[in-house]
Structure 1
Amino acid sequence: MELRGSTYFTRPPWNVDLVSYYTTVWQSRAEYYFTISLDPEAGASLGGLTIQQTRGVDTRFQFFVERTSAFLGRPRRQGARVPVEASFESDARRFTLRFPEPISPGQTVTVVLKPWNNPASSDTYMFQVTAFPAGPNPSPAPVGFGTLRIYDPDWP
């Protein structure tokens, strides 16, 4: 919905699911799946997201930014791939994602972030997600926090 030159969601997304199937320290091949569903009455398509690490001991683990991807649907039930442009500000621990082909209301989208490897320290890592509607001067809508628990392996 456009109002006074800005774009807003009338029913913004309000929940994010974060899943990873690799959850031990230093583990390679990890992928972090952030899933967001848009209400059919959202009032605007999803134009972009920010994902920012707000908690977790390791604030230096790196990502393969160029391998960021997105698809319609959920992990292990993925649909069509969706074009996504990604940048990462290491100091702020923040991804900025843009969908050149915005995600329509009523759809579910999953963004996949790929770290070089999991963090070096076990902890509960939290990522704040903010959604931006497609259109001029988008008004950000806080979606929530994704929680990722990273464990030390059990050694006898």
Structure 2
Amino acid sequence: MLHKKTLVASFLLFAAIFSPPVVRDWSNSSVQAVQLRDGKTYFLHPPTLIDATTTSNRTHAWGATYYFTIQTASDAGEPLQSVTIAQNEGSDTVAFQLGETLAYAQDAGSDRTPLISKTTLNPETRTLSIVFDPPVPAGKTVVISLYPSRNPRYEGVYLFGVTAFPPGSQPHGQFLGYGRLHFYSSSRW
């Protein structure tokens, strides 16, 4: 009897996890999003964090820009609605000028197209949220420009975790990796 109950419970768990997705057409996009029966949306093929760079790697420097480059797959299945960037490591907390955040998209070999975005900060988790309106279509390269108030006071490696989200009321975030920026003491220059 116990064996039959375990078998039935295993089958139900398997069916819940591996149930086929419901494909939903988002009215503002030419791409379809994958939505499971529980309402969560997923990328078919997640974006890739290509690079993270800074225009100045000196500690205490003013006027630096941090660039995060993300490539969306042409067969992603859904557009890119938002990105979060969280400082996960570093001896100093980097403060950003949220209203100065810029983003643009481009196709391979084409001009840059400015993106309308809104940036917010969760100070408890040190996480920036950049929301694109409208979402960025699949197949684009997205570059996010962040402007720190100043570079960190302390030298070392600073890691910024980057997560991408598709549209939907319950989007599943796909962790893309860490953007790694290394800052050096101004006295070394």
TM-score (norm 2): 0.76
In structure 2, what is the equivalent of residue 10 of structure 1?
A: 44
| Paired AA for residue 35 in structure 1 | T
Q: What is the distance in 2 between the residues matched to 1:73 and 1:123?
A: 32
Q: Percent identity among equivalent residues?
A: 33
Q: Which residue of 1 aligns with 2:138?
A: 105
Counterpart of 1:28 in structure 2: which amino acid?
W
* CA deviation profile, 1:111-156 (whole Å, cap 9, x unmatched): 1111111000101000001100022311111111100001113458
Cα 1:117–1:73 shift into 2, 3 Å = farther
Question: Per-residue CA shift, 1:46-90, capped at 9, x if unaligned?
Answer: 00011000000002x32111111101149xx96011011110122
Deviation at 1:92, TM superposition (A): 1.4
Spell out the pairing of 1:66-77 with structure 2 (5 A cutoff).
66-73=99-106
Higher-Rg member (1/2): 2
Identify unmatched segments of 5+ residues in structure 1. Answer: none
> Structure 1: how far apart are the matches of 2:124 and 2:172?
24
Considering Cα pairs closer than 8 Å and 6+ residues apart, tell me whether 1 or 2 has the greater RCO: 1
Structure with the largest fraction of helix: 2
Task: Give matches, 1:27-106, under 5 Å.
Answer: 27-59=61-93, 61-73=94-106, 79-106=112-139
For the 8 Å contact 1:64–1:114, the answer to whether it is kept is yes
Q: Write the letter of the residue equivalent to 1:110.
A: V
CA contact (8 A) 2:104 2:115 kept: yes
CA distance in 2, matches of 1:65, 1:139: 24
Give the aligned CA root-mean-square deviation in angstroms: 1.8
TM-superposed CA distance for 1:15, in Å, is 2.5
Letter in 1 for 2:147: K
Q: Larger strand proportion, structure 1 or 2? A: 1
Larger mean CA deviation between 37-46 and 84-93 belongs to 84-93
Counterpart check, 1:20 vs 2:20: no
Pick closer, same or farther for the CA change 1:78–1:121 going to 2, 3 Å. farther
Q: Which amino acid aligns with 1:10?
A: L
For the 8 Å contact 1:16–1:129, the answer to whether it is kept is: no
Alignment-mate amino acid for residue 49 of structure 2: N
Cα distance between partner residues in 2 of 1:154 and 1:78: 39
| 8 Å Cα contact 1:31/1:114 also seen in 2 | yes
Q: Does 1:148 align with 2:184?
A: no
Structure 2: runs of 5+ lacking an equivalent: 1-33
- After TM superposition, give the deviation of residue 21 of structure 1 in Å: 1.3
Q: List structure 1 segments (4+ residues) > 4 angstroms apart after TM superposition.
A: none
TM-score with structure 1 setting the length: 0.91
Question: How many matched pairs?
Answer: 153
What amino acid maps onto 1:147 in structure 2?
A: R
Alignment match of 1:125 (pick from 158, 164, 173): 158
